[in-house]
Amino acid sequence: MELTDVTLREGNQLPGRSYSVREKLRAGRALDELGVPYIQAGFPVTGERDRTAVAELAAEADADVVALARALPSDVDAALDAEADVIELFGPLGDHQLGVLGMQRSEMLTSFRDGIDRAHDAGVAVHLCLLDAFRTDDAHLVAAFDRFPDVDYVNLADTVGVRTPTAVRARLERLSASVSLERASVHFHDDLGVATANALVADAVGVGKADVSVAGVGERAGNVPLEELVVASTLAREETFGLDPTRLVPSCNAVLEALSETVHERKAVLGREATRHESGIHTAAMLDDPSTFEPYDPAAFGGSRELVFGEKTGAGGGRRLLERAGVTVDEEIVSAFLELLAERGPVTTDEAIALAGELRAERDGA
């Protein structure tokens, strides 16, 4: 399964966000260095900022830079002017969304055809995104695959983030009887907290591409977090989607820094607390074998773990730290060390060993 990173476009649609060209370029470069094959950099018809960001990133990135466009001549022309590598046309085929637009399905299909032809006449590849696809009748989705065999991917969007893994699997497996899922792409939102699980299901049934974003940055509850999907898939079946796993955490952090975005401290993979441990039972065991209470080695993805010692540290952890500091261990010094940790903590492993060394020096001096 290939990946399209949509952080730059989806994040820019969050309330209060307005990424500059410089911010988008810095973030786009970090994604490109990570090896993401497609980067959706903007929506050029919205203004010069997105047109410039798409054009400049497309000129330098190894990734294919994607420009978003409605199935309108003005949108397609703006994307062409930005010299995007790929134009992703979007629009609905479901009754509800068509009703909002005041369009008939036949009109939308004609608009899709005209937009695809306009892009292809200019020599640009096209992806087609069907809004609210997971609430659209199967027959209309199949018709799009059949009617537009000349688009590389048909992107099925769960626009309102309402589908769960069971429903996603059932829908995709039904569609697989009529279309090649290798041409299908998926776009999930995390409103129910299952976007990553949905993307993993899509990969498992053979979908060809998925949209992701760093830390899930995107509208409402966000999108499939790039880092979660990569880590989960790597652990499950050693599939990294062509990315360099050792650059994952640094690259994602570089994107967030470029865009002045932050993550919650307990956010999976990227949050500070995700690889930080203080529980006495945990840290005591992890001094000998980190995998005892850790799902993966953070270093495999360019991250790091932090063991913290203080009032929660137990006798077992205290003994191991003292032994690492070369201290001859007995109950008296363990008790004194735990009191010192409670007083000075929380401290890192190196700091705790240094404190153990202070106790040894005091004992030797005495």
pLDDT, one tens digit for every residue, the chain (366 residues): 999 999 999 999 999 999 999 999 999 999 999 999 999 999 999 999 999 999 999 999 999 999 999 999 999 999 999 999 999 999 999 998 999 899 999 999 999 999 999 999 999 999 999 999 999 999 999 999 999 999 999 999 999 999 999 999 999 999 999 999 999 999 999 999 999 999 999 999 999 999 999 999 999 999 999 999 999 999 999 999 999 999 999 999 999 999 999 999 999 999 998 887 777 676 667 777 778 778 999 999 999 887 778 777 877 887 888 888 888 878 878 888 778 878 887 888 888 888 888 877 777 665
Query: How far are the Cα atoms of 6, 8, 26, 132, 156 from residue 13, in angstroms, in the given order?
Result: 11, 9, 18, 18, 20
Answer whether 56's CB lies under 8 Å from 25's CB: yes
Helices (H), ranges, 155-245: 165-176, 195-204, 226-237
What one-letter code names the amino acid at 146?
A: D
Query: Which pLDDT score is estimated for 206?
Result: 98
Query: Which pLDDT score is estimated for 340?
Result: 80
Query: Which pLDDT score is estimated for 365?
Result: 62
Answer whether 46's CB lies under 8 Å from 67's CB: no
Phi-psi region of 332 (alpha: psi -120 to 50; beta: other; left: phi over 0): alpha
CA distance linking residue 135 with residue 162, whole number of Å? 9
Query: How far are the Cα atoms of 19, 20, 56, 71, 161 from residue 50, in angstroms, in the given order?
Result: 9, 9, 10, 18, 26
CA distance linking residue 120 with residue 308, whole number of Å? 57
Burial of 91 (0-12, 13-18, 19+ CB in 10 A): buried
Query: Which pLDDT score is estimated for 284?
Result: 66
Query: Which pLDDT score is estimated for 307?
Result: 77
Please name which of 264, 171, 258 lies closest in space to residue 225, comparing C-alpha atoms: 264
SS3 for 313?
coil
Sign of CA dihedral 212, 218, 223, 224: positive
The full set of domains in the chain, from first to last, is 2-258 (3.20.20.70), 272-365 (no CATH)
Tell me the pTM. Answer: 0.89
CA distance linking residue 258 with residue 247, whole number of Å? 16
Beta strands in 24-152 (DSSP E): 38-42, 64-70, 86-92, 125-131
Largest CA distance in the chain: 91
What one-letter code names the amino acid at 57?
A: L
CA distance linking residue 227 with residue 247, whole number of Å? 11
First CA to last CA distance, the chain:
65
Answer whether 179's CB lies under 8 Å from 185's CB: no
Query: Which pLDDT score is estimated for 182?
Result: 98
